[in-house]
Amino acid sequence: MNGTSLLKMTNISKSFASNVVLDGIHLELNEGEVVALLGENGAGKSTLIKILGGIYKADAGEIYIDGEKKEISSAAVAGANGIRIIHQEIILVPERSIAANVFLGREYRNKLGFIDYKRMEDETQKVIDEFGINLNAGAMVKDLSIGMQQLVEIIKAISADARIVVMDEPTSSLSQGETETLFRIIKILQKKNVGIIYISHRIEEIFQITDRIVVMRDGKIVGNVKTKEAEKDRLINLMVGRELKNYYTRTKHEIKGVSLEVKGLSHEKYFKDISFYARYGEILGFYGLVGARRTELMKTIFGAMHKKDGEVYLDEEKINIKHPKDAIKHGIIYVSEERRKEGLILINDVEFNMGLVCLKDFVRGIRVNKEAWRKMVDDYKQKFSIKFTSPKQRAGLLSGGNQQKVVLSKWLAKNPKVIILDEPTRGIDVGSKSEIYSIIDSLASNGISIIIVSSELPEIINMCNRCYVMCEGRITGELNEDEFSQEKILKFATQTMDK
Amino acid sequence: MERFRKIPVVAAIENYFKRNLGTIIGLILLCTIIAIATDKFLTGSNILNLFKSNAVNAIICCGMLMAILMGEIDISVGSTVGLSGVVGAYFITKLGLPVWLTVICCILVGAIIGLINGLSISYLKIPAFVATLATMSIGRGLTEVLTGGVTIRIRETGYTILGTKTIGSISIIIIYAVAALLLTWVLLNKTRFGYYVYAIGGNRTAAQYSGVNVKLYNMLPYIFIGMLCGMGGIIWSARLGSAAATLGKGFEMDAIAAVVIGGTSMSGGVGTVGGTFIGILIIGVLTNGLNLMGIDSFWQEVFKGIIILFAVIIDVIKKSKARDN
């Protein structure tokens, strides 16, 4: 391994609105080195990578390549400096060939200025063969499996003069054989003195392939160890070791009978054989890392995605949910993590948004029962202390916390039995978070069955009576509140299936 | 790994038929029905006439294909043809400009409208339909201003010959159309420009992350479309020997129809010049056949509308099938 410094990022900071995502990050990478970037969801890894890739601009900090200061102002500049980002999601043009995708943006041209496709295809084929992959460079991308598409993405990134390659969860959709191919590619790149930043939640993989491990938490770097000297438990501690703030409301609530029960639920692509139950008066948590497929599971139960197999029971009766409206009719509601996209109509006012779900109660034919509608808005405003200047204020202008309260009130007016909350406090400031927690608690003590999908361990540990842990589309663990510990939960969450 | 390579030309032809099988069968069926219904259809002069009357549509389709490939649309093409034709007639008869200068001016008029479209769509992010709806109205309004509602007659033979000359028995405007189709094929398949048009329509993010100047390459095709329409205007006014305010009205319909029937996906990224060519023929044969059968033009529009609907439904079904797999 060569020890020459390749990349140095110093003092990188970045905020979105008032939310500090990166806070004075230092990161170094040497030639031929593979560095793992480890951290919980929301630790700031993706933002850091997007800054390196020229997609975001840092508020402060400097980037040095080969000891020379660089302004990475766009994706093109990053590319010109040999920086290649392999994104988690596949970003290819599906209706074009592998070769056309690999050379997109830097096509070969002959003397007349016309595209030299044959040369592109031959060269792509050479790279494919070098890595021992069974692919034809002329094949259409859309005809490949997801794993193969991911490999094409990787080939695309490294076939040009790559110097710094960032892989963001590269193995999340690879089979075992494809993962081995990836590791072979990494070894070859290392020999060519390319520096690699490897982001993954799979700790075993990190131990297998990396030289050094950098741990991020809450926008800071909290650990930097040689892989040889690292211990798994210590890494997990570093990942989660934040202080638990005292803003959770937990009253004792009486847990009653089973509300929702799911048996052997499977989805074509995302998850398999999921069975669990929720109870009235209980707050049930679902924890998992990126790619655990919790959101997909909940959306399937809610009828927004199609199941392949399995049954859903409510009050011990089998129910058939094909569409969200069926779920709502049964009293099951889902509050999306994408509040701004799937929860609210931002350009409409608060009153309108709150009334949307039970519009039928307020509007009959051409008669609008304004008083009832306004009363509902006022009731919830008081109950949840929602801050808005008037019922006619635009929902998009409210803070995240108040928006979430509006969404909750809109659903509560329907008197649901089961409420599924997907990342209920994402992007919400600390003060409002505490209020949301107290609302959730009071709902549960009123006997409603609550399911919280959360990527924040403290939220799960402090709010839930019970929790399931998911990893890659399976439930890997179930814990009662007396068994809760961050280490245990994270162990389940990183328990990838033995391939 | 062993890979067979067929003789390229044979492979290309085979590929062409495979890819366009549905539309080719449709075209043959349509021709058969019309040939049975009317004995005038399969005569040499009718076939030549059919090609001639669809030449301008073919030229516009070259541009429309690009817009739709990018997942967008340009509905201003008809009125750009009209404006260019009227500008040509006006400059040559009222201002007495030389023919070569008039031709340049007409193409420039098209290019400017294309530039406005491209800038608003690519840089100002105005939806293509709305942006081109606006320029459609502007263009049509200007043709009416220039003509004052009166048809401009063109007696300048140096100009009219651009649309009436024949080489052997083949009209020169068929040759323009073939040239435009070939040029478009080369642009789309052999240049970076074309690769980026496909990439922008197929996955804009992928193009952007690959360092493609997406904004620029999103704009350029509209200028190309405008210039093609500029040419279309010259050809049409020269062929008729006159230009009226209604010149080019409804041309966008035929162009969109031909491109979509030719297998181009409305959501972008998929479509070929070869497929579009068949689409142009289908629209052309349909119009020609209905004319021969004496069905009036109002009904023809109804038929065309139904066929477009049909083509789009096929596109949607294809796509939802692909999603389910």
CATH number where A191 lies: 3.40.50.300
Residues A272, A231, single domain; the answer is no
Flag whether B206 is in a domain. Answer: yes
Domain boundary among A181, A213, A240: A240
Flag whether B294 is in a domain. Answer: no
Residues A223, A315, single domain; the answer is no
Residues A425, A453, single domain; the answer is yes
Q: Is the pLDDT of residue B145 over 50?
A: yes
Flag whether A499 is in a domain. Answer: no
The minimum CA-CA distance between B199 and chain A, rounded to whole Å, is 6
Flag whether A251 is in a domain. Answer: no
- Residue-level pLDDT, tens digit, chain A, 499 residues: 446 888 999 999 988 766 778 889 999 999 999 999 988 766 788 889 989 988 888 899 999 998 888 888 888 888 888 898 887 778 899 889 999 999 988 888 888 889 999 999 999 999 898 888 888 999 999 888 888 888 898 888 887 788 999 998 888 777 778 888 889 889 988 988 899 999 887 778 888 899 999 998 888 888 888 888 888 778 877 776 654 445 677 787 888 899 999 999 999 888 989 999 999 999 999 998 877 889 999 999 999 888 888 999 999 999 999 888 889 889 999 988 877 777 788 888 888 888 887 777 777 777 888 888 888 888 888 888 888 888 888 888 787 788 888 888 888 888 889 999 998 887 776 667 778 888 899 889 889 999 999 888 888 888 899 999 998 889 999 999 888 888 888 888 887 655 4
Flag whether A350 is in a domain. Answer: yes
Q: What per-residue confidence (pLDDT) applies to A418?
A: 94
Give B67-77 pLDDT, tens digit per residue.
Answer: 999 999 999 99
The minimum CA-CA distance between B200 and chain A, rounded to whole Å, is 8
Residues A175, A275, single domain; the answer is no
Q: Which of B193, B210, B214, B319 to mutate to test the interface with A (most CBs of A within 10 A)?
A: B210
Flag whether A370 is in a domain. Answer: yes
Residues A230, A263, single domain; the answer is no
Residues B225 and B215: their CA atoms lie apart, in Å, by: 16
Tell me if the pTM is above 0.90: no
Q: What per-residue confidence (pLDDT) applies to A286?
A: 94
Q: What per-residue confidence (pLDDT) applies to A429?
A: 67
Residues A102, A224, single domain; the answer is yes
Q: What strands lie across the sheet with A309-314, from one edge to the other?
A: A274-279, A258-266, A309-314, A317-319
Nearest to A344 by CA among A270, A427, A459, A286: A427
Mean pLDDT along residues B294-315: 83
How many CB pairs below 8 Å do chains A and B form together?
69
Q: What per-residue confidence (pLDDT) applies to A479?
A: 92
Which phi and psi angles does B249 have, rounded to 5°? Answer: -65, 130
Which of A87, A93, A106 comes nearest B198 by C-beta?
Answer: A93
The minimum CA-CA distance between A328 and chain B, rounded to whole Å, is 26
The minimum CA-CA distance between A134 and chain B, rounded to whole Å, is 8
A136 vs B: CB within 8 A: yes
Q: Which of A84, A93, A125 to mutate to test the interface with B (most CBs of B within 10 A)?
A: A93
HSE toward the beta carbon, residue A498, CA cutoff 13 A? 0
Residues A152 and A113: their CA atoms lie apart, in Å, by: 26
Residues A181, A265, single domain; the answer is no
Flag whether B249 is in a domain. Answer: yes
Residues A313, A433, single domain; the answer is yes
Flag whether B305 is in a domain. Answer: no
In the DSSP assignment, the letter for residue A473 is: T
The domain in which residue B237 lies consists of: 56-287
Answer whether B209 sits within 8 Å of A114, measured CB to CB.
no
Residues of B in contact with A115 (CB under 8 A): 189-192, 194-195
Other beta carbons within 10 Å of B81: 33
Domain boundary among A240, A274, A292: A240
Q: Which residue has the tokens 């847990």?
A: A255
From chain B residues 180-219, the ones with a CB under 8 A of any chain A CB are 186, 189-192, 194-195, 198-199, 202-203, 205-213
The minimum CA-CA distance between B38 and chain A, rounded to whole Å, is 42
In the DSSP assignment, the letter for residue A340 is: I
Flag whether A413 is in a domain. Answer: yes
Residues A283, A178, single domain; the answer is no
Residue of A nearest to B202 (CA): A93
CB A276 within 8 A of CB A301: no
Nearest to A372 by CA among A413, A331, A416: A413
Q: What per-residue confidence (pLDDT) applies to A144?
A: 87
Answer whether A96 sits within 8 Å of B198, measured CB to CB.
yes
Quick one: A9 exposed, middle or buried, by C-beta within 10 A (0-12, 13-18, 19+)? buried
Residues of A in contact with B213 (CB under 8 A): 76
The minimum CA-CA distance between B299 and chain A, rounded to whole Å, is 37
Q: What per-residue confidence (pLDDT) applies to B323?
A: 57
A119 vs B: CB within 8 A: no
Flag whether A252 is in a domain. Answer: no
Q: What per-residue confidence (pLDDT) applies to B2?
A: 43
Domain count, chain A: 2
Q: What per-residue confidence (pLDDT) applies to A382?
A: 87
Flag whether A56 is in a domain. Answer: yes
Q: What per-residue confidence (pLDDT) applies to B212?
A: 86
CB A304 within 8 A of CB A324: yes
User: Cα dist. A262→A267, A420, B7 in Å?
Assistant: 13, 14, 58
Answer whether A104 sits within 8 Å of B322, measured CB to CB.
no
Flag whether A482 is in a domain. Answer: yes
Residues A344, A218, single domain; the answer is no
Domain count, chain B: 1
The crossing angle, in degrees rounded to 10, of helices B77-93 and B55-69 is: 130
Which phi and psi angles does A126 have, rounded to 5°? Answer: -60, -45
The domain in which residue A186 lies consists of: 5-240
Residues A329, A426, single domain; the answer is yes
